[in-house]
Structure 1
Amino acid sequence: MSDNADPIHDVLVIGSGAAGGAAAVHLSAAHHDVCLLERSDGKSLKPCGGGMAAAVQHWFPFSLEPAVEQVVRRVDFSWCLQDPVVAELPGDAPFWIVRRERLDQLLAEEATNHGAVHQTGVDVTHVERHGADWQVTAKDGRQWRARALVIADGSGSPWPQRLGIGPRGVNHASTVSVRLEGQGSLDDGSARFEFGLVPQGFAWAFPLAGGVNVGVGSFIGRDELDSNAVLRQLLPDLGFAEDAGERQHRRLRIWNGHHCLHGDGVLVVGDAASLCDPFLAEGLRPALMSGCEAAVHLSRWLRGEQTSLRSYSSAMRERWGESMAWGRRIAQVFYRFPGVGYQLGIKRPTAPRRIAQILSGEMGYGDIAQRVIKRLLLQRG
């Protein structure tokens, strides 16, 4: 270990986004020595819609509301900008829109309040097992060591495959995000989903305080997403110029099967673990969920209460993977026959409530999958 290395920590977390921040919060609160390593300086925009169920609040002992910019109570659906469906979401504040930069900052601040070290501008170039510990090396030569490692650096992370954890073959969605100033024709508390313009995917518009997050995603096709063609039609319909906003392109890892998410003293969480919902593209809730679960199982392992981290993989399979297995089957049918899916799925009177229940975790895809798939395939036939 070089002279500029830190002392050995309990846990190194590579990436201080939602998943890494959630893990760091709970591990530091449990009195473990945690070091968060983040590549960016925290000032850049996050290419994320920012939607998450308010139900995630019960996973945290402090309020997430400082990061919440809008509470969505109504969802507007459309097909090729027409054939609208307007749905009032059930329950009290079922869906939050957060500004991702602020959420990530809030989690990192809470972790440091409990004693975690947060270092930005760290471009990790090497990760290896070093005796009983993990050693991480940055591009500038700095090194860190710890008893355990959490991989939380997003969809572009090279480390799960190199360390032999997570899925070997990664399925990607092609997405483009646009941050816009002003809300155009989008009302406060109202989100928009457009299913007809995007081949094998959909577009969304989520309101912020004084702005809108617009996104376009294609989920099962292999063709290049022509996001500009979609945005030229969608943005004017939302009350913006067709060339408004700065576009951020991203390849998002989506769930594609049950896989081991742990190794010897190492866990992978969030987008790096390919946890994103393959049907609705929900990534924030599984990111926060996996970070919280990682902290529980790592804490037990660090204290010698269990000899492996296999329980983390098992918990994520039960809490998330079983539902996503059905979600992927629904996506494969829905996005191949999207017109049928819109008519027989989205336009059904019960659909908005079912979507809200799935996003909140009250219901899983398995509860509706067989009926939905049968309905779509029979109608197609």
Structure 2
Amino acid sequence: MIGFDVVIIGGGLSGSSTALNLSKKGYSVLIIEKEKFQDYKACAGGMASSMQRFLPLDIKDSIESKIKNVEFRWKASDNVTADLTGESPFWIIKREKLDQLLLDESLSNGAHIIRPLLIEKIIKKNDKWEITCNNKIKYIAEFLVIADGSQSKWASHLHLGPRKPKFANTISLRLKGLGEIPRDAVRFEFGFIKYGFAWAFPLRESLNIGLGTFINNGLLENQAINKQVIRSFGFDDFPNKVISKKLRIWNGFHSINGDKVLAVGDAASLCDPFLAEGIRPSLISSFYAAEYIDQCLSGKEDNLNLYTKKINNIWGKSMAWGRRIAQVFYRFPRTGYQLGVKRKTAPKRIAQILSGEISYEDIAKRVIKRLLTKSES
């Protein structure tokens, strides 16, 4: 048996950033990751620059583009553009670079990672976590962090988050070149995807493209529509290599901690149910996970309950309204686009949400009332 202060299941963005925050505080940390190294992370890469404050290192090497404009379109026309305020408040990062940067820094601060390694069993024994893996070694931890993403097996097993998680269906791909997307702009394409939208986020020399459907378990199997979306971004055809993924989205206020265990990022069902933003909640939850584990290990707190309260307060309240907007907007998408996007102040508000300046709570009541009134008339 090998003992650690904290064992983290999952070495992606949430796991590596939690490990970094904890290792910086001097704790012994082990990351258990089931995958080998990944060349490509299926992620749009959009990140509010304000999130830098939740990371104890400079991430400039992972920044590919600094965004000045957010473009909205309805079926490749009816364009609306919003200017982002401030000094480059929205970045496009290359996820594989950011994840590796965080992991390398945590390792340099004393954290350990074992990969690829499969966990076979987790039990609580003598007030400590005992993790049995397929290498026949048992790892002991005072605290356990679940960070194994949207396909998390262990979050549900340990009763963290919603009993029945809700998922968005997504397709992600990366194409060489930028097509018709400006280097300093991101584009949201509505109208093609039922119950959802498509997006294009520029890297230095390639484009991250995604398609997502967010309510009613909508599917993305219509190849003709998918090709239309790709062409609208300035490319000739839909490529063969795509990644399909179920994205675990926010679905109500639930406890995301237990006795000496908590979940972070996608495993905690924190992904934005309207715009599919996942980086911001991953970094926020990882930061506070480390803060409250530190308080428990140092004797300042008896349990991790304040972690759930904190995340529900600073993220969940906004997502509760984001979910309501999504449920109305995606059921009446044309009305939603006309009244929710083309309205004079709307694009700027969406841009401010992306950059972290305001929350859904700041705009939701007016938006929902407007959409419902129009759709029922």
Which of 278, 281, 298 aligns to 1:283? It is: 278
CA contact (8 A) 1:179 1:213 kept: yes
- From 357, 361, 369, give the equivalent of 2:364: 369
Deviates more, 1:119-128 or 1:161-170: 119-128
Report if aligned partners of 2:195, 2:331 keep a CA contact under 8 Å in 1. Answer: yes
Partner of 2:204: 209
Aligned residue type for 2:8: V
One-letter amino acid of the structure 2 residue matched with residue 130 of structure 1? K
Partner of 2:169: 174
Distance 2:354 2:313 in 1: 16
- Which of 91, 112, 117 pairs up with 2:112? 117
Tell me if the contact between 2:70 and 2:351 (Cα under 8 Å) persists in the aligned partners. Answer: no
- One-letter code of the match for 2:21? H
Deviates more, 1:211-220 or 1:179-188: 179-188
Alpha-carbon distance between aligned partners in 2 of 1:237 and 1:209, rounded to the nearest angstrom: 20
Q: Out of 287, 290, 296, which is 1:295 matched to? A: 290
Say whether residues 1:52 and 2:50 are aligned partners: no
Give the match for residue 105 of structure 1. Answer: 100
Report if the CA contact (8 A) 1:180-1:245 is conserved: no
Aligned to 2:224: 229
Over residues 221-274 of structure 1, what are the superposed CA-to-partner deviations in whole Å (9 max), with x where a residue is unaligned? 224222533321011222222123620000000000000010111010000000
Q: Percent identity?
A: 46
1:86 corresponds to: 81
Q: TM-score with structure 1 length normalisation?
A: 0.96
Matched pairs, number: 376
Unmatched segments (≥5 aa) in structure 1:
none
Give the distance between the partners of 1:94 and 1:173, measured in 2 at CA.
27
Q: Once the two structures are superposed, what CA deviation does each residue of 1:115-167 show, in whole Å capped at 9, x if it has no partner?
A: 11122212223222122211222233233111100000001111111111211
Q: Secondary structure at the match of 1:13?
A: strand
Pairwise CA RMSD? 1.3
Structure 2 counterpart of 1:164: 159
What is aligned with 1:77?
72
2:235 to 230, 234, 240: 240
Query: Does the residue aligned with 2:107 lie in a helix, a strand or coil?
Result: helix
Whole-angstrom CA distance in 1 between matches of 2:209 and 2:301: 44
1:172·1:251 contact (CA, 8 Å) conserved in 2? yes
Shift of 1:353: 1.9
The change in CA–CA distance for 1:207 and 1:170 in structure 2 (over 3 A counts) is: same
Question: In structure 2, how many angstroms separate the alpha carbons of the residues matched to 1:139 and 1:177?
Answer: 31
Which of these residues, 11, 35, 42, is aligned with residue 37 of structure 2?
42
- In structure 1, C-alpha distance between the alignment counterparts of 2:198 and 2:289, rounded to whole Å: 32
Q: Which amino acid aligns with 1:373?
A: I
Q: Match for 1:304 among 299, 302, 320?
A: 299
* Secondary structure in 1 matching 2:344: coil
Aligned position for 2:58: 63
- The CA distance in 2 between the partners of 1:352 and 1:94, in whole Å, is 15
Cα distance change of structure 1 residues 227 and 98 upon mapping to structure 2, 3 Å threshold = farther
Equivalence for 1:22: 17
**Partner of residue 187 from structure 1, selected from 178, 182, 191:** 182
CA distance in 1, matches of 2:116, 2:54: 29
Does the CA contact (< 8 Å) of 2:169 and 2:217 recur in 1?
Answer: no
Q: Equivalents in 2 of 1:141, 1:355: separation in Å?
A: 50
In 2: Cα distance, 1:96 partner to 1:314 partner = 29
TM-score computed with the length of structure 2 as normaliser: 0.97
Partner residue in 2 for 1:135: 130
Quick one: distance in 1 between partners of 2:38 and 2:168? 25
Report the CA distance between 1:40 and its aligned residue. 1.6
Instruction: Report the counterpart of residue 330 of structure 2 in structure 1.
Output: 335
Question: 1: CA distance between counterparts of 2:40 and 2:122?
Answer: 27
Q: 1:350 is matched by which residue type in structure 2?
A: T
Question: Secondary structure at 1:140's aligned position in 2?
Answer: coil
Q: Is residue 315 of structure 2 the alignment partner of residue 320 of structure 1?
A: yes
Q: Which residue of structure 2 lines up, in the alignment, with residue 256 of structure 1?
A: 251
Q: What CA distance in whole angstroms lies between the structure 1 residues aligned with 2:204 and 2:354?
A: 22
Amino acid at match of 1:371: R
Name the residue aligned to 1:350.
345
Q: Distance in 2 between matches of 1:215 and 1:223?
A: 15
